[in-house]
Amino acid sequence: MGSVIQKGEKLVGAEGSSRPSVHIGVLGLQGDYQKHLEMVSRVEGVDARVVRTADEIALCDGLIIPGGESTTVGKLMERYGIDEVIRKRSAQGMAVFGTCTGMILMAKEIEASNQQRLGLMDTTVRRNAFGRQVDSFECDLDIPAISGGPVRAIFIRAPFITAIRGEAKMLAALESGEIVMVRQGNLLAAAFHPELTDDIRVHEYFVKIAVAGRAASRN
Ligand code: GLN
């Protein structure tokens, strides 16, 4: 039986601990997966690796889908048959964290697009939503679920969320109102790139979701 991690309890790595490390895969089809790997590897108790096949994803407690180009990544997922395993494993409790392109692919609705997607979250997204004049920008983002002050958020040709439904909950919005971070149970999505700063709090938050999902799926 897996033990339930209590709130505030520290994750302990594999060495010298009876608790196994949490397995986080970073999808390595395209985009900035190496940076995500570096960041999530810094979180205590994490065993992180780049994953590209259905078999590798089947072993993960959590999966990060990095930024990139969502039409390309959506096609590659289908070609390699990994979209199905992600849908199946996430329904079983595997945590999934999509950033930028990942957030687009996790949405059920993508405005003005019929591109391939995972369609996991009750969200509607708008791609390249900030327009050309603000292709990229940074800001300090208040994320009440993450303590320790605002998170520096870097947006690169970013989408934002135009609607949330059902169990999807907003975690953060810009001062101008655009929703840029959401959670739906074991699913997490952000329009920005938390891997491009030195601050691991967003990755830590995701790892906690993955640990809770692992405990639940083994109980
Ligand atoms: N504009 C890209 C897309 O639509 C997302 C950009 C990114 O992931 N940084 O997929």
CATH assignment at residue 143: 3.40.50.880
CA angle 81, 85, 89 (to 5 degrees): 170
At residue 118, does pLDDT exceed 50?
yes
Q: How far is the CA of 37 from the centre of ligand 1 (A)?
A: 19
| DSSP notation for 8-73 | TPPP--STT-SSPPEEEEEE-SSSSHHHHHHHHHTSTTEEEEEE-SHHHHHT-SEEEE-SS-HHHH
> Is 196 within the bounds of a domain?
yes
Asked whether residue 29 is domain-assigned, the answer is yes
Percent of the chain with pLDDT over 70: 88
Residue 150 has pLDDT above 90, yes or no: yes
| Average pLDDT rounded to a whole number, residues 181-189 | 98
**Pairwise pLDDT comparison (31 vs 117), residue with the higher score:** 117
Task: Specify the residue with its C-alpha closest to ligand 1, atom 8.
Answer: 67
CA torsion 152→27→64→35, rounded to 10°? -30
Domain membership flag for residue 166:
yes
| Cβ of 115 below 6 Å from ligand 1 | no
Share of the chain above pLDDT 90, in %: 83
| Domain presence at residue 74 | yes
The response to whether residue 157 sits with its C-beta less than 6 Å from ligand 1 reads: yes
* Residue 8 included in any domain: no
Q: To test the ligand 1 pocket, which listed residue (64, 69, 103) has its Cβ within 8 A of the most ligand atoms?
A: 69
- Tokens standing for residue 133: 């004049």
pTM, entire model? 0.90
What is the structure's pLDDT at 217?
Answer: 66
- Please tell me the total count of domains within the chain: 1
Higher-pLDDT residue of 133 and 177 is: 177
Q: Is the pLDDT assigned to residue 142 strictly greater than 50?
A: yes
Residue span of the structural domain in which 188 resides? 22-218
Give the Cα separation of 143 and 146 in Å (integer): 6
| Closest residue to atom 6 of ligand 1, CA basis | 157
Active site residues: 100, 193, 195
Q: Could you report the per-residue pLDDT of 57-116, keeping only the tens digit for each?
A: 999 999 999 999 999 999 999 999 999 999 999 999 999 999 999 999 999 999 999 999
For the Cβ of 101 lying below 6 angstroms from any atom of ligand 1, the answer is yes
| 127 within a domain of the structure (yes/no) | yes
In the reported structure, the alpha carbon of residue 5 is separated from the centroid of ligand 1 by a whole-number distance in angstroms of 34
Asked whether residue 163 is assigned to any structural domain, the reply reads yes
Residue 69 lies in a domain: yes
pLDDT at 9: 43
Query: What pLDDT does residue 219 have?
Result: 53
SS3 of 142-162: the string is CCCCCCCCCEEEEEECCCEEE
Asked whether 51 and 58 are in contact (CB, 8 A), the reply is: no
